[in-house]
Amino acid sequence: MQNDAGKCSVLLMLDLTSAFDTVDHYILLDRLKYWVDVSGSALEWFSSYLCERYSSVAVSKYRSSSTSLSFGVPQGSVLGPLLFLIYLLPLQHILSPFEDICYHCYADDIQLYISFKPEDASKLRILNVCLETITGWMADNFLQLNENKTQVLLCAPDRHVPSIMNALGPLSTFVKPSIRNLGITFDPALTLDIHVKFLVRSCFYHLRNISKLSPIISHTELEIVIHAFISSRLDYCNSLFTCLNKSSLERLQTVQNAAARLLTKTSKYSHITPLLIQLHWLPVEFRVHFKILVLTFKALQEQAPSYIIELLQPYAPSRSLRSCGQGLLVIRD
């Protein structure tokens, strides 16, 4: 939407080195007490959960001596990501003075992004100042940025790229032609063509392997495997696929068609529509629409995150029209 408004955008992806393993228990308990207002028995439960943990290494019949763990939250646990986000709570106050910079945090992935008019590319210098501030705060809290995974994506017309690269300064060395963000590959034009290419390749790789198993497993087991390795991949973040062109949608549909024929054990020349109806599978394009409708419904029922709810607002025409129904919505830019 910012591109449609004639603005350029820069996305900075940050990653932390061994983030979950470097959380200081005393600092985390301080966050729980003074930032989340956890006290009494609840705070003691967290203290018991975190403290007095020990680690040792066992190889065959040999075991090393145990050592106390004063850092880290248990990975793979339900509380792990939540406790880590609580540990990062002061970061929002570190970022609040930088009004032009927006941010999102998902576990140990931190995203900073800024949109600006092409003539205001000098604003990007504040991104370097912001990064220095974050790096200093993390050092004080036993966290470290992984420079090898730092990535920058420019969403701007080619004619403006040189001036933006110059304004980025040291960050220009981290600019990539595409970046992977929470499992989705973004390109500068936000077409998702590269993501579709990788997705189709991955799905057909798994379909070839699944086809080798199909003679020795039952229909029910085959359906479970196809759902786990194919359907779940096609559905992952498919609300973003509204921007896909017809060619990309057809490539994704080809994957679903191949999965349907494998499951029903029919030839590649069989008409696909009856097979999809038989399996009760919506075609890819309709699955995308269904996901958008579900998200919209949840937003209207206030069951979605606030950043999604805020995108919707009732449509209010400037004058009363008989054709204007009640409850129409528009997506706010």
Ranges of H-type helices in the chain: 25-34, 40-50, 79-87, 91-95, 125-140, 161-168, 193-213, 219-226, 232-235, 246-264, 272-279, 284-300, 306-309
pLDDT computed for residue 5 by the predictor: 64
For residue 269, give every residue at least 6 positions away whose Cβ sits within 8 Å of its Cβ, in sequence order, or none. none
Q: Identify which of 104-113, 139-148, 182-191, 279-288 has the greatest average pLDDT.
A: 279-288
The full length of the chain comes to 333
**CA triple 58-61-65, angle to 5 deg:** 45
Give the model confidence (pLDDT) of 267-288 as tens digits.
888 899 999 999 999 999 999 9
116 beta partners: 8
Give the model confidence (pLDDT) of 153-174 as tens digits.
999 988 989 999 999 988 999 9
Higher pLDDT, 2 or 53: 53
Cα separation, 26 vs 70, in Å, equals 8
Q: What is the DSSP letter of 229?
A: I
pTM reported for the whole predicted model:
0.80
| pLDDT surpasses 50 at 1 | no
Average pLDDT, integer, range 101-105: 87
| pLDDT surpasses 60 at 333 | no
| pLDDT surpasses 60 at 69 | yes
Out of 93-102, 228-237, 289-298, which region has the weakest mean confidence (pLDDT)? 93-102
Q: Which residue has the tokens 């400037």?
A: 318
